[in-house]
Chains A and B, each alone.
Chain A
Amino acid sequence: MQVQATTSVSTSGSRSLPILFCALLGIGIIFTTGHIQASALHDAAHDVRHATGFPCH
């Protein structure tokens, strides 16, 4: 019961911050894999970019 009470008073910040981190990490990964044009990265992810519908080159 004590734990539940503590949970219920958690601020909206502690509820939404992890979601924000998740979203930023996800966006970072998608951009690194799908969009960055550095040639090593482009060549390594080339087939995936085409097959996943990202603009490739």
Chain B
Amino acid sequence: MFSRLLTSALFAGAAAGLCAALLQLFFVQPILLHAELYETGTLVHFGSESVVSAHQALPGFEPMRDGLSIFFTMLVYSGYALLTVGAMELAAQRGHTIDGRTGLLWGFAGFLAFHFAPGFSLAPEVPGVAAADVQIRQLWWLATVVTAISGIGLIAFGTTWKAWAPAVVLLLAPHVIGAPQPEVYTGPVPTELGAEFAARAFGVGLAAWVMLGSFAGFFWKRETARAQSLANA
């Protein structure tokens, strides 16, 4: 069974990760590179008197840097896929239907848990922004993802308010408590770039996660059918 789950997850993770990487390179990376011009001090922008052009010449595809990004995006989405396929198997053992179509919902839930819930209070950061200590933010990120997964699971599989009420508490708690914020704002990057970066990061994350869920459902169903036909042969 492990090899069946592993195969489904790696197919789904690699495919969705490749799509995510290409979307990121096209839509997110130019904003990141633009922001780095401000982060490094190459460009300086303050106040309403700025004369710095909003259109800068940016490097194109960089084989080493962007190749690594493609590799690590496929890797992280394979990690997401392993968790998703494991959870799908658990749901299937309890009689829930898993296929490419129901996988769309799983993908949406995964986006909410891994991207939107932590990003709601700790927005995707463009390089150069002021932020609290990275370890504290990572801890908060982890706690928020865990509570979001628990909350979404309770909403999806619970049948009464005994499940839904604690789910609401779990989903709200990290944001009511609040994410670690910087002491002062020192970011040199224009807010326009920061906002566009966060919006694009969310958009690409949503598209990639929905694909991941659908691919995971599709490959899980295919691998499960194959294992059953082998067992019956």
A residues apposed to B, CB below 8 Å: 3-4, 7, 14-23, 25-30, 32-35, 37, 44-45, 47-48, 50-57
Q: How far is the CB of B112 from chain A (nearest CB, A)?
A: 12
Please, which residues of chain A bring their CB within 8 A of the CB of B29?
A: 47, 51
The reply to whether B32 and A51 form a contact with Cβ atoms under 8 Å apart is yes
Please, which residues of chain A bring their CB within 8 A of the CB of B137?
A: 55
Please, which residues of chain B bring their CB within 8 A of the CB of A50?
A: 28, 32, 124-127, 197, 201
The reply to whether B68 and A51 form a contact with Cβ atoms under 8 Å apart is no
Give A30 to B115 CA distance when docked, in angstroms.
13
List 15 A-B pairs, Cβ < 8 Å.
Answer: A26-B78, A26-B86, A28-B79, A30-B76, A35-B138, A45-B72, A47-B68, A48-B73, A51-B124, A53-B123, A54-B141, A55-B122, A55-B125, A56-B134, A57-B134
Which applies to chain B's interface (DSSP): helix, strand, loop or mixed? helix
Minimal Cβ-Cβ distance residue in B for A6: B231
Quick one: given A15-B93, A22-B2, are A29 and B125 in contact (CB under 8 Å)?
Answer: no
Give A42 to B18 CA distance when docked, in angstroms.
20
Q: Is B108 an interface residue (CB 8 A)?
A: no
Interface size of B by Cβ–Cβ distance < 8 Å? 52
Please, which residues of chain A bring their CB within 8 A of the CB of B171?
A: none
Known: A15-B1, A23-B87, A50-B127; 16 extra A-B contacts, CB below 8 A, are A4-B231, A7-B231, A20-B86, A22-B2, A22-B6, A22-B89, A30-B76, A30-B79, A30-B80, A33-B72, A44-B68, A48-B72, A50-B28, A51-B32, A53-B202, A56-B125
Q: How far is the CB of B216 from chain A (nearest CB, A)?
A: 11
Encode B196-219 as 1/0 by CB contact (under 8 A) with A: 010001101100000000000000
Encode B9-40 as 1/0 by CB contact (under 8 A) with A: 10000000000000010001100100000000
